[in-house]
Amino acid sequence: MEIIVEAPLNSLSFGNVTYNILRQFWRKGVDVALYPIGGGIDLNVYDKVDPKFHDWLHQSAMEANAKLSKDKPTFKMWHLNGSQTRISPKQLLLTFHELDQATASEINIAKFQTKTLFSSKFSEDLFKNHNVDCGSVSMGFDEDFVKTDKEYLSKNVVHFGLMGKFEKRKNTEKIIRLWLQKYGNNNDYQLSVCVNNPFFKPEEMQNILLNCLDGKRYTNINFLPFLNKNSEVNEFLNSIDVDLTGLSGAEGWNLPAFNATALGKWSLVVNHTSHKDWANKDNCILIEPNGTEPAYDGKFFIEDQPFNQGNIHTWDSDTVSQAMDQAVSKKGQNNPEGEKLREQFSYEKTADRLLTELESL
C-alpha cells in the first residue's frame, strides 16, 4: 500500500505513538511519503531503533515530495487544532481529545476530514452526537518496554510512581499533596515523580514542584528530571510497585498508566474517558469519579476559546487514600490481568486498523 503520513516524530507522547505506528507500517511493507510535523525526525529518545527502520524513516521523508500523488490517502496524526490542512484529497485523522464538550471549531475540523479516528470510545461517542463521521482506535503497548525483574529498593519499601506532564487536568499537584499527607517522611514508602512539562521554563517548573511541598522537607519523595531514553522510562516503570498516573481527570489514552499496568504493576485508575477502553476492576484498582469540574488552568485549557473547552473528572480523597492502602497490600503480588494488556492492545493491531480505514477512504 502507498500512503502519505503527516505526524510528529519526537520524544513527546504524540511522537511515541507515531514511532510505534510507523514501525508497524515499515514491517508491513507500506510505502510511505513521510512529512514529519515540526519539520524533523527526532529519534534521540528511542535507543533500540532497528538500523533498517531508521534508514527507512529518513528515506521516506527525503523522498516524500517525489512520492506525492493526489490519489494516495493521507494518514495524519495531530491535534484537532492544527488539522485544518491536508496534503491529499483523502485524509484519515487520528487525534486525541480529553474533555466532555466539543466546540464548533473542533466539530468542523473533524468533519473536514474524510474520516476522523479518536483514541477513545468516549470521544467517538461525543463527536458522533454532533454528526461527525468518526470512529475510535486503541493505542498499543510499546514493545521496547520489558520486565527487568530487578530489585530496585528494599523489599520492605513500597515504591509509588507518578509520570506525565504536570497539569491541572492530570491532577498532578492534588496527587502529590495527598500522597505526602498520607506517607510523607515515612521511609517505608517512596514516591518518584517524573512530571516535567516542556511548556514550562526550568525555573518555573522547579517553583511549581516546590509549591507542592509547602516549604517542608520530605525524605521520601524524589523529583526526577526528564528521562532522555526509552530504556530509562522502562527502568522507571519497572522500579515502581504502584502507579498513580491513572488518577488523572481526563485522558486520551494515558500511556504511562497503561504501560505500567501492562508490565504487571498495580495502577490506581479513575473510571472515565479513555481509561474505560483498557482499565477494569480485574487489571487495576478502579476508582469511580465523584463528579466533574472545569478543566481551565489559564495555560493549556483557557475558557471561551475555540478549542479544549469542558470538564475533567474529580475524585474523593478518602476513596483514593483507601485505594492506596489496597495497592500497598498488593506489594509483591503479580498482576496477571494487567500483563494481558500487552497482547490485547498491540501497535500491530492499531496499524492494521489504520490501514483498513485508509483503504476504505
Spatial contact of 326 and 294, defined as CB atoms under 8 Å apart: no
pLDDT at 64 over 90: yes
Q: Copy the grid coordinates of residue 84.
A: 485544518
Whether 2-140+346-359 and 158-344 share one fold: the answer is yes
pLDDT at 237 over 90: yes
Chain centroid to Cα 247, Å, comes to 13
pLDDT at 22 over 90: yes
First-residue to last-residue Cα distance in the chain: 13
The predicted pLDDT at position 247 comes to 98
The predicted pLDDT at position 229 comes to 95
Q: Copy the grid coordinates of residue 128.
A: 458522533
Angle between helices 121-128 and 104-112 (to 10 degrees): 100
Per-residue pLDDT averaged across 18-36, rounded? Answer: 98
CATH match of 158-344 with 3.40.50.1820: no
Architecture of the domain made up of 2-140+346-359 = 3-Layer(aba) Sandwich (3.40)
Chain centroid to Cα 59, Å, comes to 28
Per-residue pLDDT averaged across 13-18, rounded? Answer: 95
The predicted pLDDT at position 198 comes to 79
Spatial contact of 291 and 313, defined as CB atoms under 8 Å apart: yes
Q: In which band, very low, low, confident or very high, does the pLDDT at 12 lie, cut at 50, 70 and 90? A: confident
Percent of the chain scoring above 90 in pLDDT: 92
In the chain, domain spans: 2-140+346-359, 158-344
Higher pLDDT, 263 or 208: 263
CB neighbour burial string for 87-124, b if at least 16 within 10 angstroms, e if fewer? bbebbbbbbbbbbbebbeebbebbebbbbbbbbbebbb
Report pTM: 0.96
The predicted pLDDT at position 194 comes to 96
The mean pLDDT of the chain is 96
3-state DSSP assignment of residue 2: strand
Q: What pLDDT digit, counting tens, does each position of 128-184 carry? A: 999 999 999 999 999 999 999 899 998 899 999 999 999 999 999 999 999 999 999
Radius of gyration of the chain from Cα atoms? 21
pLDDT at 355 over 90: yes
Per-residue pLDDT averaged across 278-291, rounded? Answer: 98
Amino acid in the structure at residue 80: L
Q: In which band, very low, low, confident or very high, does the pLDDT at 235 lie, cut at 50, 70 and 90? A: very high
Percent of the chain scoring above 70 in pLDDT: 100
Give the chain's length: 361
The predicted pLDDT at position 49 comes to 96
- Report the relative pairing of strands 311-314 and 291-294 from DSSP bridges: antiparallel
Closest C-alpha among 82, 72, 94, 99 to residue 3: 72
pLDDT at 88 over 90: yes
Burial zone of 146 (CB within 10 Å; 0-12 exposed, 13-18 middle, 19+ buried): middle
Q: Copy the grid coordinates of residue 61.
A: 521523508
The backbone region for 87, taken as left when phi is positive above 0, alpha when psi lies in -120 to 50, beta otherwise, is: alpha
pLDDT at 346 over 90: yes
Q: ∠ CA(170), CA(174), CA(176), 5° rounding?
A: 100
pLDDT at 245 over 90: yes
Q: What pLDDT digit, counting tens, does each position of 177-218 carry? A: 999 999 999 999 999 999 988 788 888 888 999 999 998 999
